[in-house]
Every structure is written in structure tokens, then in C-alpha cells.
Structure 1
Amino acid sequence: MTGPATSTPHVPESNPVRDLPLQHLPGFTHRWVDADGVRLHAVEGGRPSGPAVVLLAGFPQTWWAWRKVMPGLTHRFHVIAIDLPGQGHSERPERGYDTHAVAAHVHAAVKALGVSTYTLVAHDIGAWVAFSLALNFESHLRGVALLDAGIPGITLPESIPTDPDRAWKTWHFAFHIVPDLPETLLAGREREYVGWFLKVKALSPDTFDDAELDHYAAAVAADGGLHASLAYYQDAAESARKNREALERRHLTVPILGISSSHGSVPDMAGSISPWADNTTGIVVPDAGHFIPDEQPEAVAAAITDFIADDD
């Protein structure tokens, strides 16, 4: 299925995050493209002539979150996993992390890779970006699958619950938007912070091994990654405003698949999106927490395959 994480002896000149070791997946190639002024990292494989599937990960992960799902898609699809701006081996701009701005960069990256139409599959903050991308570039999409995410201005709650049984899932939204303080407290402690999310929000605390925790912590710590990770939350109000403004003009018509999990954050992704989309379906993946692609990769790969087949 997947090979071991290794560092490459030669880091391509186009890689803007040269101090972070690359993760390698057999059958896939690292690419960097200029996406309207921001250099983004993509990992590409599968069938070049097949339908394109673009994968986006969320906080606190990188494209590596899809490593167990990607091999299961290669026999039918052209598979592209993209690091968002500020994530993994993509450039970390100082500003511009509202999801409409980020969506434009992601779409530009897909175009730069020679793909004109594609299915978008996205988790967590990646799903924030995917929703905004659909609002702006719907004609280029065959479908959108959204995994366990509240969308700013749409389904993300305006207030953080104080009940401890629920607050542990969303408390960090308020913390991350405080200016300067999170970076002051978290700098040098990225391993402990990232580890909390990956261990507590997965159904099994053993889902992520030490090497994976090290990789994600290093990605957040490298070259402004912590600032970028927080910036998505700090720009969430602007993302929400732009989402609501776009939805005043029209609803989404592209097919939407909501993928929830038995122990995730959003019990019914499809139901939460359906007031703003005309064509939604949903599934619930059993025996999984928030990090569904890591916890149940075969189920996610099967759901993506079935979703695209239904569209055909």
C-alpha cells in the first residue's frame, strides 16, 4: 500500500520549504507549480487519462494525510494531492488565507498541472477551501466530497460551547484567532500541540505513530507554518462573509458528497450543506473519529470511487 516516509537527498530547487524532509509515496511524483503568485506543492500519480481527483487536507496535516487513500484510487483516476498555501511543502505567504483567496490559488495550481475538470475531495480546513472553490469555479468541478468540517459562515457555529463534552472539539477556534498569543505559546511546542489533536480527535489514540506526529509537527514549525496554520482561523470571518455573499446570488448545483464518521465533529455533513446545495448525498463511515482518511482509508477510497461512478 504505502511506503515508508523518507527524506530525499536532493531537494528540488522549486521547493520553497527546503528544511522539511519530503515524504515519498510509491507511484507518485512531487511537483511544484506557480499558482497565481504562490508556489504550491502537488503530489501526482495514477492514470493521466483518467478522471482527475484533487485532494486537500486540513489542520494540522499535509498532503500526507491522504497517503493511505491515494493508492486505492490510482487504478481508475488521475490523483493529485495538493498542499494548501502555508501547508507542507507549499509556499507560506504572509497574508491572504481567507478561503476564497486560497481557493483561487488551488484552482490555478490544478490548471497549471494541465487539468481542466476534476472532482474535489477535502477534509477539515481543506473542506473550507473546497466549498469556496465550488462557489467560484463550479463549472470546472464534476463533484465535491467534504469530510467532517464546519464551513465558515455556513455550518460553523458562531459561538464555542462551554459544555466540556462538546467544547473539546471546537475550543481551538477561539484560541487561534487571538492575535500573537498562540504563536508565542506554541513556538517550540508544536509536537505537543499537534499531537493533542491527532491523538484526541481520532477514535483510536494509536492511529498516528511517532513518525507521523514528527512529520506534522515539523511541517507546522517550518518556515512560517505556525503563522499560516493560525491564519486560516484568523481569516475565517472574511471567509464566512464571502461565502454568504456568494450564496446570496445562487446555490451550488455541483453534486456534493458529505462524508461524516461515527465519532467525528459533524454528524451529518450532507444535511448541514443541503440548504445551500441542490444535489447532496451523504454517508457515515463507521469506526472513525475526525481523521477519517487516516482511520478508514479503504472506506474513503470506496466512497470517492462510487461518488464519481454515480456522476458518470
Structure 2
Amino acid sequence: MSESSVWQSLAEVAFTQRWVDVDGVRTRVVEAGPADGVPVVLLHGTGGHWETFATALGPLSGRYRCVAFDMVGNGFSDKPDQPYEVPVYVDHVLGVMRELEVDRAHFIGMSLGAWVAARIAVSHPERMRRLVLMSPAGLVATQSNMARIRAERTKAVQNPEWDSIKAMFEHLIARKERRLPDLIALRQMIYRRDDTRATIDHLLALQDPEIRPRNLLDVGEWESIKAPTLVVASGADHGEYQTTARKVASLIPGAEVLEMPEVRHWPHFEDPATFNPAALAFLGRDDAE
């Protein structure tokens, strides 16, 4: 891939961005694809925004109604004064679906988004068609990883200079050329916002060793997921995420694994040529059933 901007992925994609009121939370939402298509809900990671899925929006929207948004407390959506625990995210996702009249959807989640999607699969299985989990969290609480994330993100918000934000992406994307300036600039805009600075502790609540454990899915809950599931194994990601991906794939009945050995935390963005066809093939099985 030779793109130097997310717009090279989006230039020929018909999509609509707007803000939707979800239980009082002004939420930044993007939709692409046929209005009557099977919905696919795309959930980003901690501190993320919908552009995380810029490289997937075009290919997926050729067949599906894609819904991507900045989750509560993240991106350019509202950031209410409360810790953002998994139930808060779940309520927000379900609220977006309600406002957009989406009853049931495929879910593609990355990191925090995978954690939230897995919780929805457990607690609201009637809303779930197929599930794609990338760099999944939600099984373990590793002190070192929580401390790393908290330190990186806090430093970036306290000092939102270009080099500070750019350094954060070294842990997200293995290949230097895929750490696009657009991504750094977007994250810099978000981290320079007054509401981001005011709520960074809320955003990092799940990195608190007293809070995280009560939000995790236990082994039995992972085993209870009935939605057909594809787990992406990112071979260059941090050890905790690699371990979690393998473990949840072994726990979820019938789960499949997509091996992507060269990528880090954003497999779909770093190697869309591998991820997009695999995701389309996996989701497409539902169409034939």
C-alpha cells in the first residue's frame, strides 16, 4: 500500500457524516453502502474515531450498510462526566443502533471495540449476526499493559505535539509508512480539545486495576458466544493482545482465526489487502445461510 492519506482510501467512497443525538450524547456517525443492506457496525479502540476504518469502508460498503462512529467519550463525540466502562459503551452502541433503526448487525471491533462487541454478543445475542474481533481486549488485566496505555495516552493529551502523537502510533502500526500523517493530525486535533483533556481519566478508566476486572468477560461468557466469530491474530502486536486473541478463539465455539503475522494493533488498516477480502468472505457466508 502506498497511500499517504486516508483520503486516498475514501476519495471514491460515497458516505455521509453527521451527528446523532443518542440519549443526550452528540455522536459523530458515518454511514456508507446501500440503505437496505445488511448492517455492519464498526467499533474503534480506546481514544479512537471512525477514520480508523477508512481503509475498510469502501470495500465493505459495496455490499453492506456500514455504520461507524466515535464511541461515547472518544473522538469528536460528546464526553459526559463519568467513567467510560464497558456497560457505558454498550448502552451507547445500542443507542446508535436504535437511532439508526438497526435491529441486528454484523460487528467488527478492534481492541476496546472488540471487547464491547463481545459483551454485546453475550448480553444481547439477538442483535448480533457475525462477529470479527481484532486485537481483542476483555479477557485479562495485565498491570504492565494497563500502565503502558495510561502513560502513553496521558502524555499525549498533556503534550499533544506532533512527535508525541506520532510516537503513540508506533505501538499501533508496525510499518512506518502506514502511520499516515492524517491519522496523527486527527488524533492531535482530538487530544487538543478541552473536553478530551477534561475527561482523559474517564477515557482511561478501563486501565485502572480496580475498575478493569469488573468489566472483563469471564471464560464462561466467552464460551457462551453463539455468533460465528473470526479472530484476527496480529503477529507483531503486544503480547497481551496476541495471547488474548488465541485464547478467545479457543473459547468461542467454532471461532476461526485469520493469521496476519506482520501487523500490529490495527491489522485492518495496516494490511487492508489481506483483511478486507477475508472479512467480506467471512461475513458473506451469512448471506448464503
TM-score normalised to the size of structure 1? 0.78
Q: Distance in 2 between matches of 1:280 and 1:61?
A: 26
**Amino acid of the structure 1 residue aligned with 2:88:** A
Determine the structure 2 residue equivalent to 1:77.
64
Q: Distance in 1 between matches of 2:223 and 2:23?
A: 26
Structure 2: segments with no counterpart, 5+ residues: none
Q: How does 1:225-244 map to 2 (within 5 A)?
A: 225-236=196-207, 237-238=210-211, 240-244=213-217
> Which residue of 134, 145, 167 corresponds with 1:147?
134
Q: Distance in 1 between matches of 2:213 and 2:284?
A: 32
> Which residue of 236, 241, 259 corresponds with 2:232?
259
Q: Percent of aligned positions with the same letter in both sequences?
A: 20
Q: How does 1:11-50 map to 2 (within 5 A)?
A: 26-50=13-37
Gap change, CA 1:245 and 1:268, over 3 Å in 2 = closer
Q: Distance in 2 between matches of 1:248 and 1:33?
A: 32
The alpha carbon displacement at 1:97 in A equals 0.5
Q: How does 1:33-112 map to 2 (within 5 A)?
A: 33-112=20-99
Gap change, CA 1:207 and 1:37, over 3 Å in 2 = same
Quick check: 1:57–1:123 contact (8 Å CA) kept in 2? Answer: yes
Question: Residue by residue, what CA displacement relative to the aligned partner does 1:58-105 show, whole Å, maximum 9, x if unpaired?
Answer: 134311011111101121111111111122221111114001121111
Query: 1:282 and 2:269 equivalent?
Result: no
> Which residue of 160, 164, 169 corresponds with 1:198?
169
TM-score normalised to the size of structure 2? 0.83
Gap change, CA 1:221 and 1:125, over 3 Å in 2 = farther
Q: Distance in 2 between matches of 1:310 and 1:135?
A: 21
Q: Distance in 1 between matches of 2:4 and 2:59?
A: 14
> Which residue of 121, 126, 133 corresponds with 2:108?
121
Determine the structure 1 residue equivalent to 2:125.
138
Determine the structure 1 residue equivalent to 2:182.
211
Q: Distance in 2 between matches of 1:248 and 1:273?
A: 10
Quick check: 1:70–1:301 contact (8 Å CA) kept in 2? Answer: no
Quick check: 1:199–1:206 contact (8 Å CA) kept in 2? Answer: no
Give 3-state SS (helix, strand or coil) of 1:203's partner: coil
**Amino acid of the structure 1 residue aligned with 2:53:** W
Alignment size in residue pairs: 280
Q: Distance in 1 between matches of 2:282 and 2:6?
A: 30
Quick check: 1:96–1:102 contact (8 Å CA) kept in 2? Answer: no
The alpha carbon displacement at 1:202 in A equals 1.6
Determine the structure 2 residue equivalent to 1:166.
none
Gap change, CA 1:199 and 1:249, over 3 Å in 2 = closer
Give 3-state SS (helix, strand or coil) of 1:267's partner: helix
Determine the structure 1 residue equivalent to 2:270.
295
**Amino acid of the structure 2 residue aligned with 1:172:** R
The alpha carbon displacement at 1:231 in A equals 2.4
**Amino acid of the structure 1 residue aligned with 2:214:** R
Question: Residue by residue, what CA displacement relative to the aligned partner does 1:118-145 show, whole Å, maximum 9, x if unpaired?
Answer: 0110112222222222222211100211
Structure 1: segments with no counterpart, 5+ residues: 7-22, 161-168
> Which residue of 185, 190, 193 corresponds with 1:222?
193
Determine the structure 2 residue equivalent to 1:158.
142
Higher helix share: 2
Query: 1:172 and 2:148 equivalent?
Result: yes
Question: Residue by residue, what CA displacement relative to the aligned partner does 1:245-285 show, whole Å, maximum 9, x if unpaired?
Answer: 79569822122211122312333655321465333111112
Gap change, CA 1:24 and 1:89, over 3 Å in 2 = farther
Question: Residue by residue, what CA displacement relative to the aligned partner does 1:222-263 show, whole Å, maximum 9, x if unpaired?
Answer: 232245454243245545314447956982212221112231
Give 3-state SS (helix, strand or coil) of 1:144's partner: strand
Give 3-state SS (helix, strand or coil) of 2:177's partner: coil
Query: 1:188 and 2:172 equivalent?
Result: no
The alpha carbon displacement at 1:38 in A equals 1.9
Q: Distance in 2 between matches of 1:72 and 1:101?
A: 30
The alpha carbon displacement at 1:109 in A equals 0.3
The alpha carbon displacement at 1:40 in A equals 1.6
**RMSD, matched Cα:** 3.1
Quick check: 2:13–2:57 contact (8 Å CA) kept in 1? Answer: no
